[in-house]
Amino acid sequence: MLDDTARAGDTQLTELGVAAAAAAIRRGDITAESYAAALLRQARRNSDLRSFITIDESAVLEAANVADKARAAGSTAPLLGVPVGIKDSYQTRDLPTTLGLKALKEFVPEADAEAVTAVKAAGAIVFGKNNLVELSYGVTGHNDEYGQVRNPYKRDHLSGGSSSGSAASVAARIVPAAFGGDTVGSIRIPAALTGVVGYKPTTGRWPRGGVAPVSHVLDTTGLLARNVEDCILVDQIVGRGAIVPPSESSGLTGARFAYAPEYYLKLVASDVEQQFWETVRRLRAAGAEVVEIDLGDDFSGLADRTAWNLFLRETQQAVTRFLRENDYPVSFDDVYHGLKPQLHAVWSATVVPGAPAYLSDEEYAATLAVDRPKLQQRLGDVFARDGFDALILPTTPAPAPTIADQWEFSVAGEAVTHLFLSRNTVPASGAGIPGISLPAGLTSSGLPTGIELNGAHGHDQELLALARRVESVLGTLPAPL
């Protein structure tokens, strides 16, 4: 009964987003300490989600107390006193950085990741380290050592990955936002499956220093939040973007969207397809133009070849260099031999030099010199040549499968594997263009679905501004029960 009373009292606080909480703290409407305490209680209530690997409660409360003193002294820092989650692939100098691996359970690096440094300088508090798939190598949220991350909307369903804990903690109102990483969809997939906003900047826009890599060509840091406004605020701080004022236009009059059903809707769950067409209807009703386009018969092969070739070929070199340059107490071989059996088998077949499916130097060079530029041109034409503001698509072709069926499940009567969840996110990753997943609604069984907007390379601020207008049309999801 006491916990029910505390929960009711906490709801107003835990529902606050980043911008709203920061404003309330600056005005003196709430204290950073009371806000942090409410979030810590929410974390305890939802510990079964396994969304965090590490939370130092006393450190969070101490940092909040420091923020309150700074506010009293006149600080107007943009994120003053706001706790955020940090995916445990980001280095933190005051908390262990495990990369999702058992061998690094106690390892504390000497320096913060660059993105962490940026938000701390803006007044934010590191709430804890979010659970993730080992070395960000997977899309389901499964971790052998730290547990399967569960979906706050239905706990027997998965959260998506690899930024699984980041997404689940934001959806569960444990933190207002959390950092993630995206190589082939690792921010956008869990965002869609847990009903939050997932922002993948243009590759290279946000700093990646101090974040464990998979592919230096594809990797990008990014954010999971509950509204677009918070993504815009953090983008201004981490991506050093200019301030994007809210649009004064009502609805979406003048906005032009393209959709490509031959690829993005070729095989989708019925609930996802229904939600997509409802989204299209609502965009048109708000004044937008939504036009069907064809990306070409070879688009599927081109997108898959580009992204997966780079993903698998660059892992060994990227991980080896990162561990060595940041003084980790393990080597690539140590990591490889300590992987869970399923992931070890994947690396043995594709990632380790000399493996049966290891990409040759010639094939790798062709991917970089031929396939990737061709994919970039194909998607770039949607914006530069054809004049569309965004490409719109279902973020994932299916809602979250059950945890029991996460490796193989069926979509529209066809058997698929877990990697099918990344089918729609892969093209934007291969091309390096920005993408943002917005909640589209709930399925008949109560699971979230997402709608993704892709924008032109480097036009992140325009995409975010458009996403804010789309969000005003689509609305947000109710909190999980």
Kindly state the average pLDDT of the residues 88-95. Answer: 97
How open is the CA angle 124-127-130, to the nearest 5 degrees? Answer: 120
207 vs 185: CA distance, rounded Å:
18
List 51, 136, 164, 186, catalytic entry: 186
* Two structure tokens written together for 115: 């993105």
Question: Percentage helix, strand, coil, to 5, in the chain?
Answer: 45, 15, 40
Length of the chain: 481
Establish whether 87 is a catalytic residue. yes
Determine contact, residues 335/103, Cβ cutoff 8 Å. Answer: yes
CATH code of the domain made up of 10-474: 3.90.1300.10
Segment 134-189, tens digit of pLDDT: 999 999 999 999 999 999 999 999 999 999 999 999 999 999 999 999 999 999 99
Question: What confidence tens digit (pLDDT) does each residue in 31-85 have?
Answer: 999 999 999 999 999 999 999 999 999 999 999 999 999 999 999 999 999 999 9
Q: How many other C-beta atoms can be found within 10 angstroms of the C-beta atom of residue 350?
A: 17
Report the distance separating Cα 336 and Cα 346, nearest Å.
10
- 395: three-class secondary structure by DSSP: coil
Instruction: Give just the sign of the alpha carbon dihedral 160, 393, 465, 306.
Output: positive
Residue extents of the structural domains in the chain: 10-474
Distance (Å, whole) CA 292 – CA 280: 11
Closest by Cα among 148, 181, 123 to 53: 148
How does DSSP classify residue 211? Answer: B
User: Of the listed 87, 120, 154, 200, which one is catalytic?
Assistant: 87
Per DSSP bridges, beta strands 125-130 and 52-54 are: antiparallel
Is the per-residue pLDDT at 303 higher than 60?
A: yes
In the residue annotation, 360 being an active-site residue is answered as no
What is the reported pLDDT for 427? Answer: 98
Task: Look up residue 251 and give its amino acid.
Answer: G
Q: Are 467 and 438 in contact (CB under 8 A)?
A: yes
d(CA 35, CA 27): 14
pTM: 0.97
Please provide the average confidence, as pLDDT, over all residues in the chain.
Answer: 96
In this prediction, residue 334 has a pLDDT band, given cuts at 50, 70 and 90, of very high
Query: What digits encode the pLDDT tens for the residues 185-213?
Result: 999 999 999 999 999 999 999 999 999 99
Please determine, for residue 6, whether its predicted confidence score (pLDDT) is greater than 70.
Answer: no
Closest to 52 in 3D by CA, of 91, 85, 13, 93: 85
Q: Which residue of the set 89, 136, 159, 162 is catalytic?
A: 162
Q: Which amino acid is at 457?
A: H
Cα–chain center distance at 391: 19
